[in-house]
Amino acid sequence: MSHDLATATRRTRRIALRAVTLAAAVAAVACATPAELRKLQHRVTDLERSGGGPGGGGTGRVADLAAEVAALQRTLDGINGRLEVMERQVEVALEEARAAREEANLPLAATPGPEAAPGEGGEAGGEPVPAEVQAYRDAYAKWREEDASACVDQFSKFLQTYPASDYADDATYWLADCYFKQGNYSAAVLRFDDVARQYPTGNKAADALYRQGEALLRMGHGTAAGNAFEKVLRDYPDSARAPEAKRQLDLLGAG
């Protein structure tokens, strides 16, 4: 295994471990406090129904328990806010893990040999890197650097120059993601839709539909977002995005 591939593999594992750790933290925080709150609420209800016990001396206990419930509710509200942040961190970590895995699977960049002229590079076997592959790498590097403007520019040029490339579906997806990061949600919706329609059997189709739903939510189009999430469940029920789409639909239904 070459040094570059080993480095990329280690990076992929680190990011994946981070995603798993964050997901476990979200699950742990989400379960404990609501259970405690429900338990206290039941105790308050039981005491109120019984009149506070013999002699009515339980009024103070009811008040104390009610205060505990109120305090726990405030704590729970704060935890819910942190949960939203943590869940987003999990999504970002998973996205980074997927991106790192894909990067590790790309043809390795060559290190110029001692006889190579300045500016000349090649693969390990001495062959030059194809212009198409290098253009994709350059654009993808801008995505990794979170330079959304350069990312949009370079992926747009890549798709104009190599519309039939094997990397076209991934390039379209990253382009949509860069539009999303810019806050240009309407452009993101259109590009995510391109991925889902043009490459329905590709590895980015389910992700694209889900992200399209996210962009539509940011635009305030709840019904259209729900349609996108439903399509994830209908067309890609076994995808990693299916549980997330179900959760989004539950939230939309509750709203």
Long-range contacts of 215-218 (CB under 8 A, 24+ apart): 215/180, 215/185, 215/186, 215/188, 215/189, 216/185, 216/189, 217/248, 218/185
| Burial of 100 per CB tally in 10 Å (0-12, 13-18, 19+) | buried
Which value, in Å, is the radius of gyration of the alpha carbons in the chain?
Answer: 25
pLDDT tens by residue, 6-57 = 455 455 555 555 555 555 555 554 444 555 556 666 665 666 566 554 455 5
pLDDT tens by residue, 212-253 = 999 999 999 999 999 999 999 999 999 999 999 999 999 998
- Domains of the chain, by residue range, sit at 3-105, 131-254
d(CA 116, CA 121): 7
Inter-CA distances, 165 with 78, 89, 148, 191, 210, Å: 48, 32, 22, 16, 24
* 31 and 79 Cβ atoms separated by less than 8 Å: no
> Position 134: which residue type?
Q
What's the pLDDT at 254? 72
Domain 131-254: CATH superfamily, name plus number = Tetratricopeptide repeat domain (1.25.40.10)
pLDDT tens by residue, 59-90 = 666 666 666 666 666 665 555 555 554 555 55
d(CA 148, CA 154): 10
Both tokens assigned to 81: 């806010």
Q: What phi and psi, each to the nearest 5 degrees, are found at residue 60?
A: -65, -35
pTM for this one?
A: 0.55
DSSP string, 125-176: TSPPPPHHHHHHHHHHHHHHTT-HHHHHHHHHHHHHH-TT-TTHHHHHHHHH
Spell out a b/e string for 198-228, using b for 16 or more CB atoms within 10 Å of the CB, else e. Answer: ebeebebbbbbbbbbbbbbbeeebeeebbeb
Query: pLDDT band at 113, cuts 50/70/90?
Result: very low
| Burial of 103 per CB tally in 10 Å (0-12, 13-18, 19+) | middle
